[in-house]
Each structure stands twice: as C-alpha cells, then as structure tokens.
Chain A
Amino acid sequence: SQTIHQWPATLVQPVGSPLSLECTVEGTSNPNLYWYRQAAGRGLQLLFYSVGIGQISSEVPQNLSASRPQDRQFILSSKKLLLSDSGFYLCACARNYGYTFGSGTRLTVV
C-alpha cells in the first residue's frame, strides 16, 4: 500500500521568508501527486497536481510553485511567504480508487 511522508509537521515562518515543503511517496511508481491547502475552518483547495516528473499543473495563481524532480518526490515552494499563505498543507497520491493523503504540514506565517 502507498505511504506518504510529509515534513515538517508544523512550521512557523516570517513574512517574506522562503518555503520548501517536501512530500515523498512509497509503495507505488509513476503516481499522480497533489498539493492541497486548507485555511483555518475552510475546505481543501487544490493548488498543484503532477502526472509525472517535471509535469506540473497549477490550479490557483499565487506566489507558490511546485516541482517534481523525481518520480516519488513532490515539492511545494515559495520565494517570499505572505500572511495569507498560512494554512494546513496536504500532499496526496492517487491510487486505483481515490487518494491517499499525507499527515500534513501546518504552516503559520507571522
């Protein structure tokens, strides 16, 4: 079965600082990978998805970017964080039916 590793679990960053969140997947090859964000008390917003190495689709224009340097590695980045980037970031992997989600990173921008 698939396992998704996300780190760190929590992160506090000042406004204007860079961001790099990493997600790695075990137990599958050539998966579709996703980054979601959940603002406090809100639903999940799809940010990026990738169907293969180097292939990134952006759902929401913003100051975040994503990269997929390896088959089972998906990275979410920002050059300069905004207060509005605070939220719960989740990486997900598609499987035969449905998705498997990671445990998430709670980002607070101060």
Chain B
Amino acid sequence: DAKTTQPNSMESNEEEPVHLPCNHSTISGTDYIHWYRQLPSQGPEYVIHGLTSNVNNRMASLAIAEDRKSSTLILHRATLRDAAVYYCILDPQGAQKLVFGQGTRLTINP
C-alpha cells in the first residue's frame, strides 16, 4: 500500500486559513489522493479528493504538487468545528480498500 506522511499535530486560530500537508513520494500515476476527517467519537467523513489538478468544494481545497509527491488540504477559514484528525490517503484506482495512517490532529484555538 502506498504510504503517506503527515505531521502528528497542528494548531491554528479560528477564522484563519489552515494548510495541512501530506507527503506521498511513492505515489503512482493512478493513485487518487483522498482526505478524510474524523471528529471526536465519530466515524471519518469524506472531505475531498483529486488526481492531478487542484480541487475545490464547499468544505476545503486540495492543492496537489506538480510532481504529485505532496499535497495540501486547505481550510480557508477555520472554525472550532474543524477541530478533528485529518487523514491523507492514497486510493489506487480499482483498489478494493482504503488504508488509513495516523493522520494530523488539528486543534483550533478560539
């Protein structure tokens, strides 16, 4: 399974942008980059995914490096409800399973 590396924890302030990095140097050409987040005592929630181009949705933006060896999840204006563990996962096209790493625990300060 292709591996991702994320910082264990990050901290930011409310109403400021947050940039969550993820390294995936062994990514292959058909691997999609997925982001999930898990709020306390809940199941993970899909955030966003992409392959090569940057992606935007109502929750976040995904910036993918040109060589695809890293990506950044961007929360444009963090709220207290964004405090969660964020997981960056590679999803090989056609794969039957997602393997989660340890993720980044994001703390938002009021």
Do A and B truly interact?
Answer: yes
A residues lining the B interface (CB < 8 Å): 32, 34, 36, 42-46, 49, 51, 57, 59, 88, 90, 92, 94, 97-104, 106
Q: Would you call B44 and A49 a contact (CB within 8 A)?
A: no
List chain B residues, Cβ under 8 A from A57.
Answer: 96
Which residues on A sit within 8 Å (CB–CB) of B45? Answer: 101
Interface of A, helix, strand, loop or mixed by DSSP: strand
Q: How many B residues face the partner with a CB closer than 8 A? A: 20
What's the Cα separation between A71 and B34 when bound, in Å? 26
- Looking at chain B's contact residues, the main secondary structure is loop
Pair A104/B43 contact, Cβ less than 8 Å: yes
- Name the residue on B nearest A9 (C-beta): B41
Measured between beta carbons, the chain B residues less than 8 angstroms from A103 are 42-43
Decide if B49 is an interface residue (CB 8 Å cutoff).
yes
In the complex formed, the residue of B with least CB distance to A104 is B43
Contacts of A43 in B (CB 8 A): 87, 100-103
In the bound assembly, the distance between CA atoms of A46 and B97 in angstroms comes to: 8
Given contacts A43-B100, A43-B101, A43-B103, contact A102 B49 (CB under 8 A): no
